[in-house]
A = this chain, B = another copy of it.
Amino acid sequence: MTHASRSGSTDHRLPLHARIKDDLLRRVQSGEWPTDVPLPPEAELASSYDSSVGTMRRVLSELTAEGMLLRQQGRGTFVRRASFENSLFRFFRVQGDAEVQPASRILDRTTEPAGPQQAEALGIKTGSDVLRIQRLRLWGERPFLSERIWLPLPEFREVAMASETELAPLLYPAYERLAGVSVGRASEELSVAEADEPLAELLQVAAGSPLVRITRIATTHAGDIVEYRESFGPADTFRYRVEIN
């Protein structure tokens, strides 16, 4: 019961493996181990938590199954950084040319008071300060997605201040570097809408033509809300793939 008390806030009635898991998850997310530094070996971890190796293995297996850790026989246990920023590109496809690399261009960053929709999605009060990022994604010259992203302030003030190159090429790693927050999960909702004037111009389509709208709420693995995002793309070349289990 020495080091185990480090777990602090977790409920003491919970089984040992659950308390250890909560604490280890917290430490992993706090960045205690960079991705190239192995966690202590399971025997050492076990004794530091006053548990058996078997119980420790259970925790490590679960976190591995959930995608938080990577274990390699003979090498060690490593933190696996969120890699799913690419998922948008798993989902999106332009019919035909798969050769051209997608690019992204940040058009605008402003601080504004949160509207009711953004406030509800982010779990904050209407009127609180939020950072809004407007971004355009392109395949070569052709824009295929217009994104508006809202982040709560002051947590993400470093993202507001950063130079544009610091935000490239991907946003989620930048959140991690600048604000110390890592995205682990997201929930998206798709619907179909009509292009209004500004969107039509941005996406180079006719006003009134059908667009796909994707709203995304991104959270940490622990479930804390990170960002709210609303994206629009031309419906005609749109493909979205989902696996149901």
Residues of A within 8 A of B (CB): 65, 67, 84, 87, 184-192, 210, 212, 235-236, 238-245
What would be 24 A-B contacts, judged by CB atoms less than 8 Å apart?
A: A65-B65, A67-B245, A84-B244, A84-B245, A184-B245, A185-B243, A185-B244, A187-B241, A187-B242, A187-B243, A187-B244, A188-B241, A188-B242, A189-B240, A189-B242, A190-B190, A190-B239, A190-B242, A191-B239, A192-B212, A192-B236, A192-B238, A210-B210, A210-B235
The CA-CA distance from A192 to B240 in the complex, in Å, is 10
Main secondary structure of the interface of A (DSSP, over half): strand
How many copies of this protein are present in the complex?
2
Q: Report the Cα distance A186→B243, complex, angstroms.
A: 6
Nearest B residue to A65, CB-CB: B65
Give the distance to chain B from A4, nearest Cβ to Cβ, in Å. 24
Known: A186-B244, A243-B185, A244-B185. A191 touches B238 (CB 8 A): yes
Question: In the assembled complex, how far is the CB of residue A183 from the closest CB belonging to chain B, in whole angstroms?
Answer: 10
Q: How far is the CA of A187 from the CA of B239 in the complex (A)?
A: 13
Bound together, the chains give a CA A212 to CA B185 distance in angstroms of 26
**Chain B residues in 8 Å Cβ range of A187:** 241-244
Note all chain B residues with C-beta closer than 8 A to A67. 245
Residues of chain B within 8 A (CB-CB) of A192 are 192, 210, 212, 235-236, 238
CA distance A210 to B188 in the complex (A): 21
A187 to B192, CA, bound (A): 21
Q: Is the CB of A240 within 8 A of B191?
A: yes
